[in-house]
Structure 1
């Protein structure tokens, strides 16, 4: 089809990353004068707050992830590319892909997220996988289920005890949620299914270098969460950092504990976006941005989500939460619309905190919003409704709601398929 030579060229926007920030930006930026290219290393958008439920056999992968192309199938101005960005040429205004042509842009939005960080001990990663992607979740699920299977056949009680020891490093929301769910799996779901071992004797360790679990919550709710974890059999270790991780053990301070399953939930590191831009980054790799979320010295580049260090008026950084990323995506969409339409600049970004939520197993949760606090079973139902509301599509909402209701009533978790074997180690 021939192009009208008098037609005004569209403003080219390249968005790198299909997480909460990038997807929200595109949803909010529907404008006749733009063309949008979305690039991601994976072909799906992931609802990361429920990723731990895939890792612990509660949900299937398809219930918390959706093909990116499907999300924007009705948006002809949006092009989706599966590829990995390796650099940005700010002078030429292009984005370099590892396997494909460079992408020219008029406006670039980097929303590339973060991954788990080992505080300089990257050699621990093979033994202590983190939880940021579907691949991470299925790896953890496979290793956890294989640990029970191998323990069932292990004649040596010392090795059997090590196989039934599960260590979670980091007592933030992910660590607490993992520990509680694994404990309930071992205590309630699996016992009738094994004949040689008593899965209720599994040892679940939650290890935190700080003085309490869930430090983002108030002390009373943190204490409640710890007590709830201990009631379901989780052993909480506070005030002692992990000093080593290996294939057969974990070291806490100076104490070695035989352990074949370690999950890392202790820290995050931003993507290499700062390196692509030649920009300064903080210790977590986040790029400092201006109040309108643009890169210092380049108003054509926005950095949002976990990739950016956004300063609040009180000096604290905006937390790396899904609501914060979505707010930033919507804000940048508004900034771009104002620019295209010649309207006055938008006021600086202002983060609206929507509260903290965390669940402890299938019957208890905690909620904190300003001075409002709630804990227990009712909080669990509110936590569930809040998460279902933000899922994409009626089918996903129905599937997750049904899975949770079934587990709540029966205590049975059905997503327990081992789809890939790993080499057995003794």
Structure 2
């Protein structure tokens, strides 16, 4: 009899794996409810990935775009945060297993594990050309970039100077375009103002794309605008140019090696291993096929969000791997699960409201695609800045980033140009959760 009463009074338990845009939004929507929530992430902080390129190019410091998960969710007494790495999901027992052997039970499981860069079978390239998915990778890129300028200033070999001042960005999507523009503007300003033995014409920034155009997910007119602007600020764009190899000395394309000191990967993403945890065949990009209520096909107690989920819009096309998609899905699912678990009502159909796709190209230059109409130039750049400040996790971050952007715009100065003389090597990973200026 006692056991029966306990079962009736036991609070439902939702486990959320991943504290990115989707996972965090889902947890906040479940906050201060009669539902116990456990958020699991292998890092102790959430990260605003769209601005990682600004950390990599010394415009912002890591602390400006990240915050401890416990601080974000600490005001919700029903939410527990666990720093750990999920390795298994036992669906019959309804538990998730962590790398350290701990098992955590769930009534509903939400997988919001994000994505990682896809090196298309060449995983060894990652140590030479990091992507932009973590603070550690952004700091690697910043370290390589700034140190190369210092070495070039001292070098008396013209060829070595050019190698040191050559950066190669692989992939012409939004990340690649943003990095190419930021590196070119940073380099030319630093050379003109701060370095006495370097000339702007020695700087070379290459943007390499295997396809026929950059920003392929945008309308062709916006893609061409990006090409024109990047070319004007000195970026060398090479289309229909697949990468053959990435080495410590540079990038091989067309049978020839391009000597370079800084290489950045932005040529495609793949989902987390969530499909393998569930023993289901992954969809395109490794994503989990989900139903209209965001539940994994055939698994009504398990849901997937953001880059982990292959969800379709009202037009039948897959929703893009964007922050706005993950955030909308997380808020929707959190509210729906609250009603589902406490009142027994079914989870309704998720409907995505497109608020536009955007990419910044450089100072006073960005593109916005709203579907039925487009925006480019200074106005798009201002709108991009407003949207990204709004999406930051709290008022403090919004204020800090806004002040720094205003100061940077007025002075062109980059405030995070610090080289750590004890920085770890590019091929040696730093500890999870390490945040530094």
Q: TM-score range by the shorter chain?
A: over 0.9
The CA deviation string for residues 253-301 of structure 1, in whole angstroms up to 9 with x for no partner, is 3332111211000111111111111111024211111221112222111
Check the 8 A contact 1:191/1:200 in 2, yes or no. Answer: no
Match of 1:131 in 2: 132
Matches within 5 A, 1:239-258: 239-258=240-259
Match of 2:432 in 1: none
Worse-superposed segment, 369-378 or 105-114? 369-378
Distance 1:22 1:263, change over 3 A: same
Between the aligned partners of 2:139 and 2:107, the Cα distance in structure 1 is: 38
Matches within 5 A, 1:88-127: 88-127=89-128
Shift in Å, 1:6: 9.0
Matches within 5 A, 1:191-202: 191-202=192-203
Distance 1:70 1:423, change over 3 A: closer
Match of 1:416 in 2: 417
Matches within 5 A, 1:168-187: 168-187=169-188
Shift in Å, 1:423: 6.5
Match of 1:210 in 2: 211
Match of 1:26 in 2: 27
Distance 1:7 1:315, change over 3 A: closer
Shift in Å, 1:348: 1.8
Count of paired positions = 421
Check the 8 A contact 2:125/2:246 in 1, yes or no. Answer: yes
Shift in Å, 1:314: 3.2
Check the 8 A contact 1:24/1:329 in 2, yes or no. Answer: yes
Check the 8 A contact 1:186/1:202 in 2, yes or no. Answer: yes
Q: Secondary structure at the match of 1:292?
A: coil
Check the 8 A contact 2:185/2:233 in 1, yes or no. Answer: yes
Matches within 5 A, 1:288-327: 288-327=289-328
Between the aligned partners of 2:7 and 2:204, the Cα distance in structure 1 is: 71
The CA deviation string for residues 363-407 of structure 1, in whole angstroms up to 9 with x for no partner, is 211112122222111221111111111112222111111111111
Match of 2:401 in 1: 400
TM-score (structure 1 length as normaliser): 0.95
Shift in Å, 1:7: 7.5
Query: Structure 2: which 5+ runs fail to align?
Result: 427-437
Between the aligned partners of 1:73 and 1:31, the Cα distance in structure 2 is: 11
Worse-superposed segment, 74-83 or 414-423? 414-423
Match of 1:333 in 2: 334
Distance 1:314 1:361, change over 3 A: same
Check the 8 A contact 1:189/1:411 in 2, yes or no. Answer: no
Matches within 5 A, 1:259-278: 259-278=260-279
Q: Secondary structure at the match of 2:285?
A: coil
Shift in Å, 1:86: 0.8
Q: CA RMSD in A?
A: 1.8
Distance 1:169 1:62, change over 3 A: same
Between the aligned partners of 1:118 and 1:101, the Cα distance in structure 2 is: 31
Between the aligned partners of 1:6 and 1:254, the Cα distance in structure 2 is: 67
Match of 1:378 in 2: 379
Query: Structure 1: which 5+ runs fail to align?
Result: none
Shift in Å, 1:323: 0.4
Match of 1:147 in 2: 148
The CA deviation string for residues 60-104 of structure 1, in whole angstroms up to 9 with x for no partner, is 111100110001111111000111011111111111011152001
Match of 1:282 in 2: 283
Distance 1:368 1:44, change over 3 A: same
Match of 1:390 in 2: 391
Worse-superposed segment, 306-315 or 111-120? 306-315
Between the aligned partners of 1:423 and 1:72, the Cα distance in structure 2 is: 34
2:64 is the counterpart of 1:73 = no
Between the aligned partners of 2:227 and 2:406, the Cα distance in structure 1 is: 25
Shift in Å, 1:343: 5.0
Between the aligned partners of 1:8 and 1:344, the Cα distance in structure 2 is: 19
Distance 1:391 1:32, change over 3 A: closer
Check the 8 A contact 1:36/1:78 in 2, yes or no. Answer: yes
TM-score (structure 2 length as normaliser): 0.93
Between the aligned partners of 1:89 and 1:345, the Cα distance in structure 2 is: 24
